[in-house]
Homo-oligomer: A and B are copies of this chain.
Amino acid sequence: MLKEMVENVREKCPLIHNITNYVTVNDCANVLLACGGSPIMSDDVDEAEEITSICGGLNINIGTLNQRTIPTMHKAGKKANELGHPVVLDPVGAGASRLRTQTAKDLIDNVKFTVIRGNISEIKALALGEGGARGVDADVADKVTKENLAQAVSFAKEFAKKTGAVIAITGAIDIVADGEKAYCIYNGHPMMSSITGTGCQLSAITAAYVTANPETPLEAATAAVCLMGVCGEKAYERLTEQDGNATYRNYIIDTIFRLTGEELEKCAKYEVF
A145 at the interface (CB under 8 A from B): no
Set of chain B residues within 8 Å of A54, measured between Cβ atoms: 96, 133-135
Set of chain B residues within 8 Å of A27, measured between Cβ atoms: 26
A108 at the interface (CB under 8 A from B): no
What distance in Å separates the Cβ of A126 from its nearest Cβ neighbour in chain B? 16
Docked pose: A85 CA to B1 CA in angstroms = 51
Does B38 lie within 8 Å of A29, measured CB to CB? no
Report the copy number of this chain in the oligomer.
3
Does B46 lie within 8 Å of A21, measured CB to CB? no
A124 at the interface (CB under 8 A from B): no
Does A38 lie within 8 Å of B135, measured CB to CB? yes
Instruction: Sort chain A's interface into a size bin.
Output: 35 or more
Contacts A23-B41, A25-B23; A50 near B96 (Cβ below 8 A): yes
A266 at the interface (CB under 8 A from B): no
What distance in Å separates the Cβ of A200 from its nearest Cβ neighbour in chain B? 11
A interface residues, Cβ below 8 angstroms from B: 15, 21-27, 29-30, 33-34, 38-44, 46-47, 50-51, 54-55, 63-68, 93, 96-100, 133-137, 194-197, 238, 241-247, 249-258
For the complex of A and B, 3 pairs with smallest distance between CB atoms: A244-B257, A244-B254, A246-B253
